[in-house]
Amino acid sequence: MSSGYFLDPETVIERLRSQGGRAWRTLRFVLRDNSAKLGFVIIVTFGFMGIFGPMLAPYHPIEDTLQQGGSMMRLQPPGGKAVLGTTSFGKDILSQFLAGARPTLIVGLFGGVGTGVVGFLVGLTSGYFGGRVDEFLMRLTDLTFALPFLPMALVILSFVTPSIWIITAVLVTFLWKMPARVIRSEVMTVKERTFVKSARARGAGHLRTMFLHVAPNVLGIGFLYTAYAVGWSIVAGASLAFLGFGDPTTTSWGRMLEQVFRSGAIRVAWWWVLPPAIGIGAVTTGVFLVGRAFEEIVNPDLQTEQE
């Protein structure tokens, strides 16, 4: 094989650098939108909580049982020792909320990025090569479209002990089809543009054409769907946890909701329900707000924005 079929490191570095600059410009452009600013603040706060939350928590979310006057603080409304109240087992809700951000962040981030990357690569390959490759990969996506997410996920998780990484993997398995479909159709449009044929005429191999000429021009949509996939993953991860298929060893927002439901106190203990519910709602909304502002540049004219 000739070197034309490989990417030389110099070109790759140069490309990555220019993509970095592009990301920065894009971010600044996105943040001109007010609701995107709000979304961005939410995401940053959430990221901060995900990283430092467990350290900030005043108590251990599971091991510490709050006592007051010798008895366990059961279902205490906010106030006193427990700023956000307690659970029916006397655990501090603020601590659970802060600690619960991390698994949610991990599921969201890795589930989203994993979905984006797998979907992008599948879509790129499928759209670029077409023919049999496309046929095979698209039938595979059809298959994942045909399988209902929750029942299948529940079946899988019944056989293995759910850990946060397994849950992330399950999410990616079921979500990659969305970006794959969209990226594929986008690639098929870009592929027909003259500059792709021109690259071939200049001697570029498939790999080079695919990654240096086609990919950068669909990257925007890829990121957009990655952002959305973060939102989907958080919601889907929380749903699984709510149904009792979360990681039993960690506290996540979805698991908090499961516990409040199980305890039968869901109608009264608003202080137990609201923090995780608002948390999930705010983060997904934040992601979508930024995604929406981003979509405006991706669609239709990412090209003109840089001038």
Partner 1 sequence: MSLLEVDDVKITYRMPGDDVHAVNNVSFSIDEGDNYGLVGESGCGKSTIAKSVLGLLDDNGDVRSGSIRFDGRELRDLSERDWMSVRWEDIAYIPQSAMDSLDPVMSVGAQIRQAIRKHRDVSKAKADERVAEVFEMVGLDPTRTGDYPHQFSGGMRQRVTIAMALALDPDLIIADEPTTGLDVIVQDKILNKLMELQEELGSSLLLITHDVGVVAETCDEVSVLYGGKVMEQGDTDRVFRNPTNPYTMGLKNAFPEVDEFDEQAISIPGSLPDLTEEPTSCVFENRCPFATEECGASHPDLVAANEQLSACHHVDEADEMRDQAKDPETWGIDVRNEVERTGGVGDVILETDGLEKWFKQPQGILDDFRGKEPDYVKAVNSVDLTVHEGEIVGVAGESGCGKSTLAEVIAALQDRTGGEITIDATPIDDLLAENTKEFRSQVQFIFQDPFDSLNPRQRVRAAVSEPLKIQGHDPETIDRRVRQTVEDVGLKPADKYLDQLPAQLSGGERQRVAIAQALVLEPTLLICDEPASMLDVSLKANILNILREMADDRDIGIVYISHDLASLTQIADRLAVMYLGRIAEMGATEDVVRTPKHPYTASLLAASPRTDPDADRKRVLLPGEPPNPVNLPTGCNFAPRCPKAGEQCYRGDPERSECTEGDHEAACYFPVEDVETELLERYIEAREDDVEEVLEGGMTP
Residues lying near partner 1 in the complex (CB under 8 A): 2-4, 8, 10-11, 14, 18, 193-195, 197-205, 208, 212-213, 216-217, 303-304, 306-307
For residue 131, give the H/E element and its range.
helix 131-146
Give the residue among 128, 124, 172, 170 at the shortest CA–CA distance from 151: 170
Q: Which is nearer to partner 1, 34 or 249 (CB)?
A: 34
Q: Which is nearer to partner 1, 10 or 63 (CB)?
A: 10
CB of 258: closest distance to partner 1 in angstroms?
A: 46
8 Å CB contact between 86 and 92: yes
CB of 25: closest distance to partner 1 in angstroms?
A: 12
Q: Which is nearer to partner 1, 193 or 262 (CB)?
A: 193
**How far is 152 from 159, CA to CA, in rounded Å?**
11
CB of 123: closest distance to partner 1 in angstroms?
A: 18
Q: Which is nearer to partner 1, 213 or 255 (CB)?
A: 213
CB of 180: closest distance to partner 1 in angstroms?
A: 22
Q: Which is nearer to partner 1, 62 or 199 (CB)?
A: 199
CB of 143: closest distance to partner 1 in angstroms?
A: 24
Instruction: Please enumerate in sequence order all residues whose Cβ is within 8 A of that of 209, keeping only pairs 6 or more positions apart, or say none.
Output: 128, 196, 199, 200
* Residue length of the chain: 307
Instruction: Please enumerate in sequence order all residues whose Cβ is within 8 A of that of 40, keeping only pairs 6 or more positions apart, or say none.
Output: 30, 31, 286, 290
Instruction: Please enumerate in sequence order all residues whose Cβ is within 8 A of that of 234, keeping only pairs 6 or more positions apart, or say none.
Output: 104, 107, 108, 111, 280, 283, 284, 287
CB of 7: closest distance to partner 1 in angstroms?
A: 10
Give the residue among 258, 204, 251 at the shortest CA–CA distance from 92: 251
Q: Which is nearer to partner 1, 108 or 220 (CB)?
A: 220
CB of 276: closest distance to partner 1 in angstroms?
A: 42
DSSP state of 287: H
**How far is 20 from 14, CA to CA, in rounded Å?**
10
The SS3 call for residue 92 is: strand
Query: Which residue in the block uniquely carries the two structure tokens 């003259």?
Result: 194
Instruction: Please enumerate in sequence order all residues whose Cβ is within 8 A of that of 127, keeping only pairs 6 or more positions apart, or say none.
Output: 134, 183, 184, 185, 186, 187, 188, 191
Q: Which is nearer to partner 1, 197 or 262 (CB)?
A: 197
Q: Which is nearer to partner 1, 23 or 268 (CB)?
A: 23
CB of 5: closest distance to partner 1 in angstroms?
A: 9
**How far is 77 from 87, CA to CA, in rounded Å?**
9
